[in-house]
Amino acid sequence: MTTTRPTDLGVALAELEGSGARPRAGGTDLTACLAHGVLAPAPVVDLTGVDDLRGIDWREDGSARVGALTSVHDLSADARLREAYPALARTAGALATPQVRGTATLGGNLLQRNRCWYLRNPAFDCFQTGGDACPAREGDHLRGVVVDQGPCVAPHPSTVAVALVAYDAVAEVAGEGSRERPVAELYDGADPFRDHVLSPTQVLVSVSLPAPVPGERAAYLRATGRSRAEWPLVEVTVRLACADGGDGPVETAAVAVGGVARTPLRLPRVESALVGAVPGVEPGAAFVAALDGLADLCSPLPATGYKVPLLRETVRAGVERALGFARD
């Protein structure tokens, strides 16, 4: 199969159109998908030469537009991004390994395929590989969803998406039907056939973040089955905008979770219960009630009931970390 390396976005889009080719960024997932039959053999359009997808631009209001080729490492290590968007930096810095973070890109992370064992095994067919069923639903779905949104039960794999959904970030997409859309709308939990809504002829160009909140308190936490090089069972990104540059009570909160559903999820009840919480102090009864209410959100599969308490405890611990409240 051929690989081209255009330097112009228009040329890249033209090469993708009608050719069956797949766009490649860092290649850490696409290469494996092509090698293991998750995707049918296809020509590759290497995006890494396209300048329009590179760089971080800062607007007058202090907000950032981040090019899709920005590495996951840079999302966590760029000094200005770290200061402006601490929850994004902490989230990006916690995923995979240093080697993967150095190669993986923002766009590739958001658009990677899920980690379902059946999807990754060419011996099985499923909705995502041209079949008409989900073998994981009746089979081994230990790492599957606990919020059942549709026929496919594989959790959304992108850790960076969790943070971006907490920021209400907006994605710029080029190609057929090109437009800006919230990052949250890149995913459709009811669609069993694909992990994101972009077609192979569309290219993610950039992601825009809102103006930073001075003194934002932030945390990222994941529950994993082993300590390194592992996708999370449950993960949470917490952003707290507090009065007095970060030391006063919470004015607004954003809490997003991954590993539980086909899409990253915001937790509005938890967010509103946190308004008024004070840094360094254990949050009160409203927060505890909101945590208890997370069980109502869940619709576990036979083997994913363990994620109901895991979700509660991961969110609790993530929020407490962001508040700087230490348990005895």
187 binds, among ligand SF4, ligand FAD, none (CB under 5 to 8 A by kind): none
Query: Considering only CA atoms, which of 80, 77, 50 is closest in space to residue 62?
Result: 80
Binding-site partner at residue 27 among ligand SF4, ligand FAD, none, CB < 5 to 8 Å by type: ligand FAD
- Is 157 a residue that touches ligand FAD (CB under 6 A)? yes
Structure tokens at 45: 């359009």
CA distances from 53 to 48, 88, 105, 300 (A): 8, 19, 10, 39
Q: Which is nearer to ligand FAD, 86 or 157 (CB)?
A: 157
- Closest to ligand SF4 by CB, 259 vs 279, is 259
Q: Tell me, what DSSP letter sits at residue 115?
A: -
Q: How far apart are CA 3 and CA 33, in angstroms?
A: 16
Cross-strand bridge partners of residue 65: 57, 208
The binding track of 217-246 with respect to ligand SF4, each residue x by CB under 6 A or -, is ------------------------------
Q: What is the C-alpha to C-alpha distance for residues 7 and 317, in angstroms, rounded to an integer? A: 45
Which range, of 97-105, 265-273, 279-287, 315-323, touches ligand FAD by CB under 6 A? 97-105
Phi, psi (deg, nearest 5) at residue 127: -50, -35
225 CB burial (10 A radius; 0-12, 13-18, 19+): exposed
Question: Does the footprint of ligand SF4 cover residue 116 (CB under 6 A)?
Answer: yes
Site string for ligand FAD, 236-275 (x = CB under 6 A): ----------------------------------------
What does R_g of the chain's alpha carbons equal in angstroms? 20
Which residue ranges make up the site for ligand FAD (CB under 6 A)? 22-30, 47, 53, 68, 72, 95-97, 100, 103-105, 107-109, 111-112, 157-160, 198, 203-204, 229, 231-232
Interaction site with ligand SF4 (CB under 6 A): 114, 116, 118-119, 126-128, 134-136, 152-154, 192
